[in-house]
Structure 1
């Protein structure tokens, strides 16, 4: 589950100015609320106090969390394999949809199973080590999960949890997410577009059946689902699977899971 300290960090990173010390410079810049220049300077100062983009993090309990995440991933791939409409697509289209859609589908799986996790800071190397080894570590460090990325993932999960989706809603939402005609290089784009529309219509029908009094629910569900597209592939891979698969290529692993009987 999420720690109290991380919830405080979320609020600080969201621009809660009262979480920051009111230095003399801060008070000078914020002196006149009606002055747009002062407002801009204040916002800039607050943004400079947020280091979540630089803070590298890792799972606090990788053994347990990675095991649960692996289970969600297996269910995600099994969902794709179980759809005749997916398995009948050209192999190139199946591969393209897998590459583009596995992270949004995985996040929907995390949301449906209400997977909660804690992260902790990655210890920073010494200043001397950073100076001596920075050129060789820059690419590796760039791939490490950041607190900002975790915030985006959690915001996505919170939106989905707030809607309290039923299993049927999740099922049709997965279909609408998987059959994405916007993926580049599809040879059966029109067919995939039709499959997405079919899934969306089914989602609308089940929403009307379960929530006839909520005319805006379909729009809210669609908006919440769209946030899964903002979760980066590298964040999910590095945070949940790197401790298990090491340097194995994630897409190669997923391809084997999907196509190898």
Structure 2
């Protein structure tokens, strides 16, 4: 018996939408050749790195072990992500205010999905926080110490570990190129934000991407929708990834004090506030 796809942040699954001539459907499908299925079995994610939910991990800060290499690869992933968005006419058919909302709320999950597609793994180095005794000996006031501790120095280990766990789960499912394309459409046109001016249109675009993904999986995996359910659960989890942690870990060494949001808007030619 096929597993029912989970309902959640990504709206109701209305499969009746006719996407045969849809601009979004054609854009997502364009340029992807015939897929070769590498994994015949449909299994759930099983690999995990570290334990989640430990409060001590929230206080620990980490940086990249090899920032020169990893930041370059992360920048390439971000550029490919922005290129994907720029090549979707449907994105530019919504008002610029909606483009702004969609980009701000979805760039981080799209980036993590891009990291999964490109197979970008990375090692971390924990930052040692100075002890209270050392601060006292150095005549550092508690106020100054608190300001130092709250400054943007490294990313939360808990948040980074959450992202690494999701990457492993995507790799375990062995997502194909076409599946990644459809997933990007589902994430970009996330209709969970109800402040959109063109909410019904965005919902339709998301449903088209969901239907395309379901039909592809149904064809490639002999109508076993268990895989479809697993993937939707994973992209729902992507929404919980902290965008600030991503910016701090992968782009702060490059941008310095510059803001990534400004760079994203300029690259996509979206009118700022």
TM-score normalised by structure 1 residue count: 0.78
1:151-206 residue CA offsets vs partner (Å, 9 max, x unmatched): 10011111111110110000001001100112242100000000000000000011
Residue 43 of structure 1 aligns with which residue? Answer: none
- Pick the aligned partner of 2:61 from 56, 62, 67: 56
Q: Greater shift after overlay, 120-129 or 75-84?
A: 120-129
Matched, 1:247 2:257: yes
Alignment gaps of 5+ in structure 2: 1-47
- Pick the aligned partner of 1:79 from 60, 75, 84: 84
Matched, 1:147 2:157: yes
Q: How far is the alpha carbon of 1:213 from its aligned partner?
A: 5.3
- Pick the aligned partner of 2:173 from 159, 163, 170: 163
The answer to whether the 8 Å contact 2:217/2:225 transfers is no
Q: Which has the higher contact order (CA 8 A, sep 6+)?
A: 2
**Whole-Å Cα distance in 2 between the matches of residues 258 and 139 of structure 1?**
32
The answer to whether the 8 Å contact 2:154/2:248 transfers is yes
**Whole-Å Cα distance in 1 between the matches of residues 225 and 100 of structure 2?**
36
Alignment gaps of 5+ in structure 1: 1-8, 16-46
Q: How far is the alpha carbon of 1:14 from its aligned partner?
A: 5.3
- Pick the aligned partner of 1:178 from 151, 173, 188: 188
- The change in CA–CA distance for 1:14 and 1:244 in structure 2 (over 3 A counts) is closer
Q: How far is the alpha carbon of 1:144 from its aligned partner?
A: 3.4
**Whole-Å Cα distance in 1 between the matches of residues 126 and 221 of structure 2?**
42
- Specify the SS of the correspondent of 2:151: helix
- Specify the SS of the correspondent of 2:60: coil
Matched, 1:211 2:221: yes
**Whole-Å Cα distance in 2 between the matches of residues 190 and 213 of structure 1?**
29
Matched, 1:129 2:135: yes
- Specify the SS of the correspondent of 1:185: coil
Q: How far is the alpha carbon of 1:250 from its aligned partner?
A: 1.2
The answer to whether the 8 Å contact 1:77/1:257 transfers is yes
Q: How far is the alpha carbon of 1:52 from its aligned partner?
A: 1.6
Aligned-CA RMSD value: 2.0
Residue 23 of structure 1 aligns with which residue? Answer: none
TM-score normalised by structure 2 residue count: 0.75
Q: How far is the alpha carbon of 1:226 from its aligned partner?
A: 1.3
The answer to whether the 8 Å contact 1:86/1:94 transfers is yes
- Specify the SS of the correspondent of 1:186: coil
- Specify the SS of the correspondent of 2:56: coil
Residue 223 of structure 1 aligns with which residue? Answer: 233
Larger Rg: 1
Q: How far is the alpha carbon of 1:217 from its aligned partner?
A: 1.1
Which structure dedicates a bigger proportion of its chain to helix? 1
Q: How far is the alpha carbon of 1:147 from its aligned partner?
A: 1.5
**Whole-Å Cα distance in 1 between the matches of residues 211 and 194 of structure 2?**
24
Q: Greater shift after overlay, 68-77 or 157-166?
A: 157-166
- Specify the SS of the correspondent of 2:146: helix
Residue 44 of structure 1 aligns with which residue? Answer: none
1:127-167 residue CA offsets vs partner (Å, 9 max, x unmatched): 343752223224315x6312211210011111111110110
**Whole-Å Cα distance in 2 between the matches of residues 96 and 164 of structure 1?**
31
Q: Greater shift after overlay, 129-138 or 186-195?
A: 129-138
